[in-house]
Amino acid sequence: TQLLEQSPQFLSIQEGENLTVYCNSSSVFSSLQWYRQEPGEGPVLLVTVVTGGEVKKLKRLTFQFGDARKDSSLHITAAQTGDTGLYLCAGGGQLTFGSGTQLTVLP
Amino acid sequence: DAGVIQSPRHEVTEMGQEVTLRCKPISGHDYLFWYRQTMMRGLELLIYFNNNVPIDDSGMPEDRFSAKMPNASFSTLKIQPSEPRDSAVYFCATRRARDTEAFFGQGTRLTVV
């Protein structure tokens, strides 16, 4: 089983601040995905990264896939209260999920 | 398509009872996953199917858990007998192919008292 570790586990910031969360593994992945989950709902896909070194942008969110395809990061610029949620990375044919980063953006 | 449909949304049962959770996947999706989510352990993969065949059930906690996918339109996760430590939110997710987007149902919140 391919394991994914996320850090930090919890993050509380003020609106307008920038932040980065990380997803690391000792295994190589053909692709990594980032999901966001809100209370009472299932996770929803934000992005899929496939190529080593790839950078994808989704409005204020920037996703990067490591050159060796073992790690990924999610950077949020000028966080808003609506960004609050659980951010999960996932990968592999068996769709293993990391432990998640619970982000709280305070007004 | 209505998305992945899970039932029931909530289930409260007594310890020792049998519990059956149901999932209707999105039509045309070849992969189906069952997860369990708790605060302590996060989102754990229990089992996944490809074309109705179980591929990896190494995440199934013990023999009390079983899952079936008799056809492309339906899957069940059964716990017999249930225990309080089985209390969690159980999610079903499906995707069309490997490395594509996974779509989740709204989950079943199971409470075993």
In tens, the pLDDT along A67-94 reads 999 999 999 999 999 999 999 999 988 8
Q: Is the pLDDT of residue B36 over 70?
A: yes
- For A39-88, where are the alpha helices, taking DSSP H only? none
Q: State how far residue B71 is from chain A, nearest Cα, in angstroms.
A: 20
10 Å CB burial of residue A50 (0-12, 13-18, 19+) is middle
* Virtual torsion, Cα B37, A37, B76, B80, nearest 10 deg: 20
Q: State how far residue B24 is from chain A, nearest Cα, in angstroms.
A: 15
B96, B99, B103: best mutation site toward chain A, by most A Cβ within 10 Å? B99
Q: pLDDT-derived band of residue B45, with 50, 70 and 90 as boundaries?
A: very high
Predicted local confidence at residue A3, as pLDDT = 87
Q: Do A42 and B105 touch (CB under 8 A)?
A: yes
Q: Do B45 and A95 touch (CB under 8 A)?
A: yes
In tens, the pLDDT along A2-23 reads 789 999 999 999 999 999 999 9
Q: Is the pLDDT of residue B61 over 90?
A: no
Flag whether residue A41 sits within 8 Å of chain B, measured between CB atoms. Answer: yes
Q: Is the pLDDT of residue A41 over 70?
A: yes
Q: pLDDT-derived band of residue A1, with 50, 70 and 90 as boundaries?
A: low
Q: How many other C-beta atoms can be found within 10 angstroms of the C-beta atom of residue A79?
A: 22
Flag whether residue B97 sits within 8 Å of chain A, measured between CB atoms. Answer: no
In tens, the pLDDT along B63-101 reads 999 999 999 999 999 999 999 999 999 999 999 998 899
CA atoms of A49 and A52, how far apart (whole Å): 8
Q: Is the pLDDT of residue A102 over 70?
A: yes
Q: pLDDT-derived band of residue B2, with 50, 70 and 90 as boundaries?
A: confident
CA atoms of A40 and A60, how far apart (whole Å): 25
Cβ contact B69:B32 at 8 Å: yes
Q: Is the pLDDT of residue B1 over 80?
A: no
Q: Give the percent of chain B with pLDDT over 90.
A: 95
